[in-house]
Chains A and B, each alone.
Chain A
Amino acid sequence: MDFTLQVWRQDSPDKEGRFEVYRATNISSDMSFIEMLDSLNIELEQKGDTPVSYECDCLEGICGTCSLMINGRAHGPGACTTTCQLHMRSFQDGETIVIEPFRAKSFPVIKDLIVNRSAFDRIIQAGGFVTVRTGSAPDGNAIPISKIDADLAMDAAQCIGCGACVASCKNSSAMLFTAAKVSHLSYIPQGQPERMERAKKMIEQMDEEGFGACTNQAECEAVCPKGISIKFIARMNRDFIRSSF
């Protein structure tokens, strides 16, 4: 397969960026999007050009490192997939593909397609943990948790912190991410003592980072590679109300 790529190139955070057009030729339909970019970079290097910078790590959809806006959609077409799980057969032969970094004021571009998502780390640091006494491991079955709660906690805990929710939100809101991180601990007994404090602090940090506010359009849910539901945003809002008064 052959593609025309329009790729965002930006040398450093404070330099102006621009789109460059490249041809990707002889691409196998079984290649992942990342492999396609790798093959482009090999060609660029052979020609003595600077390869395109992008991020990836696990290549199996669990780390959340890969992050590309592909044809206007975070992680490209298809539901519940990360960029690294996206196959080139999802595109038409000869198609023009626009590749941009995730854009948000709170996700400044580092280089080309790589953005700094440390804002997410700071939201987690603000309260996305449980305080436990260290020492010998507690007995695995000492704290009973219902299957329903365990499942819901796991649904929220699926979030891999990729930032696609922010990237695709018309308001650049980080509420899906924050809600997932607030909620997964709020379903389990271990998360109860700090529950209200946690919601409050994480939301404060989210605002401080300069993310937008949700308008319930659910674009985030549509592109989230882990299918995190906006029901967790409702749950976070509930915790917020309770923590405020």
Chain B
Amino acid sequence: MILLQQMLINNPIIKFYNSSIGKKIVMAVTGLMLIGFVVVHLLGNFQIFLGAEKFNAYAAFLKSIPGPLWAARIILLTAFILHFTTAFILSLNNKAARGGSYKNMATVQADFASRYMLESGVVIFIFIIIHLLHFTLGAIQPEFHDLDDGFMRDDVYRNVILGFSNGPYAYIYIVAMLFVGLHLKHAFWSMFQTIGVYSPALTPLLKKLSVFTAVAVAAGYISIPLSVIFGILK
């Protein structure tokens, strides 16, 4: 028992994770993976603008390679769980570290996004569940799921159009994407700072890139439900 305890305590990975900076680095690395996914997913989604034929073919292609698809899903799920639980552990520790509260506490330069990372993260978490139930599993609006496009393929295109034109889902999606943008605005440059990338020339650039990524990702995702609402995609 004691031996096991000793082994656990001296395990470099556990030691790393036990440290506050270790946990921050876990946040940064898993965050980077999640951002990577968000960007790739967006590029995939954009094919909806190429029409039903291309989009359904893309979906069918993903289904035809279950090996890589599931590998990616498992890696992502692991990153997601780590990102989420570590955020909670850190937040609880940080709350506990104050011990008492100020009557007055000014905010001098911390930006809005940075102060509400946990909140925006929780909103995104809830959205991901809704999103998976909606488009991936078809538990929400099952009548639009597994439609046939006439070529023996899933009519994913119809699924998206119908999903966004019925019920509140387009609006939920849009609001959630605004939170993703908010989260990314602080997340992107913050990742680099945490893993130790800082230079007087590079950091201001990374902060600009952070705003750009946030706006581009949010606007990119929002463009799809908006196009459905305005009848550009039908």
**CB within 8 Å of B: which residues of A?**
6, 8, 19, 69, 71-73, 98, 100, 103-106, 108, 168, 170-173, 175, 203-204, 206-207, 210-219, 221-223, 230-231, 233-238, 240-241, 244-245
Contact = CB atoms under 8 A, between A and B. Distances in A.
A161 B94 CA distance: 21
Contacts, number: 143
Interface string B1-15: 000000000001001
Interface stretch (B148-156, B161-169, B190-198): B190-198
B130 to A, nearest CB: 27
- Most B CB contacts (10 A, CB to CB) among A6, A73, A105, A217 go to A217
A212 B93 contact: yes
Contact of B109 (A100, A210, A212, A222): A222
B100 A237 contact: no
Interface stretch (B71-79, B110-118, B215-223): B110-118
Given A98-B104, A103-B100, A106-B97, A219 B109 contact: yes
Interface size of B as a range: 35 or more
B16 interface: yes
A79 to B, nearest CB: 9
B99 A104 contact: yes
Given A103-B99, A171-B97, A69 B21 contact: no
A214 B106 contact: no
A244 B94 contact: no
Interface string B183-217: 00010011001111111100100000000000000
Contacts of A233: 193
B194 A105 contact: no
B43 to A, nearest CB: 28
Nearest to A232: B198
A78 B107 CA distance: 13
Given A235-B196, A237-B21, A240-B21, A217 B100 contact: no
Interface stretch (B22-30, B54-62, B137-145, B226-234): B22-30
A127 to B, nearest CB: 14
Contacts of B109: 217-219, 221-222
27 contacts: A8-B103, A103-B99, A103-B100, A168-B108, A170-B115, A172-B98, A172-B99, A173-B20, A203-B20, A212-B93, A212-B98, A213-B93, A215-B117, A217-B109, A217-B114, A218-B110, A219-B107, A230-B193, A231-B203, A235-B198, A237-B196, A238-B196, A240-B22, A240-B25, A241-B25, A244-B16, A245-B16
- Most A CB contacts (10 A, CB to CB) among B21, B100, B117, B199 go to B21
